[in-house]
Amino acid sequence: MIIENIINASVELFTISTVILMAVGVVAGLIAGAIPGFTFAMAVVLVLPFTFSMTPVAGLATMMGVYVGGLSGGLMSGILTGIPGTPSSVATTFDGFPMARNGQPGLALGLGVWSSFFGGILSAIVLVLVAPQIALIGLEFQPWDFFSLVIFALTVTASLAADNLLKGLISGLLGLLVATIGTDVIFGLPRLNFGSEALVQGFQFLPVLIGLFAFSQLLNDVRDPEMARSKISDGDAQSIKIEHRKAAIAVLKSWVNLLRSTIIGIFVGILPAAGSSISNILAYDQAKKSSKTPEKFGTGFSDGIIAPESANNATAGGTLITMMALGIPGDIVTAIMLGALLIHDVVPSPSFIADQPVIAYSIFISFFVATFMMLGLQSITLKGFVRITRLKMYILASIILFYTAVGVFALNNIEFDMWTLFLFGVFGFVLKALGFPIVPVILGVVLGSIAEKNLSQAFAITTDLAPFITRPWSLFFLTLGAVSIFFPAYQKSRGKEKWTLAFIPVFVMALSPSVFMMDGVIRPYVVAPFLLVLGGFMLWRRISGGWVLDQDDTGALVDAPDPSQLDE
């Protein structure tokens, strides 16, 4: 069955035009990812209108190319200029830039490229193996479970706003509210349109997303008149040659670090809303903590490049697992992909892989192929990157701003969509200026209709609210949601206040009742008792240790910026 699906998907995917489109996508992603202030998510957003006229397979393969390319592109500017091209490459600059300054820019780039490659390939393997299994679990889900999953996705996104949990939650709710404007998804009745005929159809998801994300970001990029008029970067990398052989050997020698970082990347990716901007910093932090020579980190140490770069590419596989298996986007890019699938009348859900095997497997294969393409095309785009960075930001921003209008119009051929773009561009810009995170708004808009449909289905079955806590998966996600709300307080107080010592043990134990209620043998009779015993053991160790705070355990990551500030 799997072989048959792979063959069928390959037939669709490996046409000359699709392969060329993928290659163009990878190059575009590499260059977009390399330009500071121009994240790869924006590149995926901007590519979307072009994919509208393509087949679903060709369109998604192109977007996958941009995604994989963009994840790796950030390392170029991070290593050569010290300014990360995307938030996914922040930690890469900690050692990449010093290594380049120490006279080894070719090796630094090579380490980044090969780590990205191995991280991507390993995560693609996990994606192929795990996504169908998670989709099987997803088939156990009933409307209550999906609704609770959406609640968890929103709370975890809001909690990533760290100090601004309140603003994060408000942002998520605003996103949900925006999704209710127009027509009721269940009965088709107009609602909350304030008498406007134009609003009866509601706001189309993609113009909202492009407005909130790309439009407002572009105007942020030109806010400072001096910065707007200066070249994007003064880096000169034309004479640099990537040292592929030496770098590949170094990466393989550091296989433990590579594997650990890849696992971190995949795990972070699977979590709804947590993206590569977080995984690269977490992986760097863990690599430093596990290293025999932590003092070398920050001085141009190879492990400091391998960890973040393998983790950020691995995150892509993780986010795709969540999207393809459960129909829940893991980050902005997968939210856009979800939008792209909906344009082609494909609705991701637990039965997506079984119902649409050609599209699902073409996503798997294109992720693999794009990773190989990224490896080959990095050297070529290095020259392109240098040329692009000679442009001034205001020129790029002005042209792209116009392009967003054309692209948004092309999606549905409706002029109102350009007004939607404008309105949400202003809305996104104002929210950002007031310190509200944008990602929860976007996920709120995407997840709003999913939540409402499932709630309606749940009420159609019974008006009793008890299933939200008596159904195992629903309780599981609500528990995770509750924990994610308290997580920012835990992170802030970790190592400073004694209650934090009980947080993780209690969290682990709190999961066991829901797991105990699940079907089968392993989960209720092995996993649930294990979680209970593990939590109890952790608690006992802390009590027997005198309930004393570990002075080193401050919870602070390496000298890294607050991940919540990195709006991907």
Partner 1 sequence: MRINRDVIVAIALLIICALFINASFRIKEATFGQMSSALWPRIILAPLTILSFVYLVRSLLQSEPVREKRGGLSGWIGYYKNPIVCFFLFFIFLITMPYFGMLIGGILFVFAMLTYLGGYRPRDIVVHGTIAVAAVGIMWSIFTFGLGVILPSGEIIPYL
Residues making contact with partner 1 (CB under 8 A): 50, 52-53, 166-167, 169-170, 173-174, 176-177, 180, 184, 186-187, 189-192, 194, 219-220, 222-225, 228-229, 392, 394-395, 397-399, 401-403, 405-406, 409-410, 413, 415, 418-419, 422, 425-426, 429, 433-434, 451-452, 455-456, 459-460, 463
Among residues 485 and 506, whose Cβ is nearest to partner 1? 485
For residue 421, the minimal CB distance to partner 1 (Å) is 9
441, burial (CB in 10 Å: exposed 0-12, middle 13-18, buried 19+): buried
- Helix (H) / strand (E) containing 365: helix 357-388
Among residues 3 and 466, whose Cβ is nearest to partner 1? 466
For residue 473, the minimal CB distance to partner 1 (Å) is 20
Give Rg (Cα) of the chain: 23
Tally Cβ neighbours within 10 Å of residue 245: 10
Among residues 227 and 342, whose Cβ is nearest to partner 1? 227
Interatomic CA distance for residues 203 and 185, integer angstroms:
13
Among residues 315 and 420, whose Cβ is nearest to partner 1? 420
Q: Would you state the structure tokens that stand for residue 179, as one six-digit string?
A: 């999704």
3-state secondary structure of 392: strand
Interatomic CA distance for residues 266 and 72, integer angstroms:
16
For residue 454, the minimal CB distance to partner 1 (Å) is 11
Among residues 92 and 474, whose Cβ is nearest to partner 1? 474
Among residues 246 and 392, whose Cβ is nearest to partner 1? 392
Query: What does the DSSP 8-state code read for residue 231?
Result: B
Among residues 103 and 225, whose Cβ is nearest to partner 1? 225
Among residues 216 and 257, whose Cβ is nearest to partner 1? 216
- Angstrom distances, CA of residue 392 to CA of 133, 224, 227, 472: 48, 13, 9, 54
Residue 187, phi then psi, degrees to nearest 5: -100, -10
Among residues 312 and 484, whose Cβ is nearest to partner 1? 484
Q: Would you state the structure tokens that stand for residue 444, as one six-digit string?
A: 């709120």
For residue 192, the minimal CB distance to partner 1 (Å) is 5
For residue 97, the minimal CB distance to partner 1 (Å) is 29
For residue 189, the minimal CB distance to partner 1 (Å) is 5
* Of the candidates 71, 70, 394, the residue with the CA atom closest to the CA atom of residue 225: 394
Interatomic CA distance for residues 339 and 304, integer angstroms:
35
226, burial (CB in 10 Å: exposed 0-12, middle 13-18, buried 19+): exposed
Helix, strand, coil percentages in the chain from 3-state DSSP, rounded to 5:
75, 0, 25
For residue 462, the minimal CB distance to partner 1 (Å) is 9
For residue 222, the minimal CB distance to partner 1 (Å) is 5
For residue 560, the minimal CB distance to partner 1 (Å) is 25
Interatomic CA distance for residues 256 and 268, integer angstroms:
18
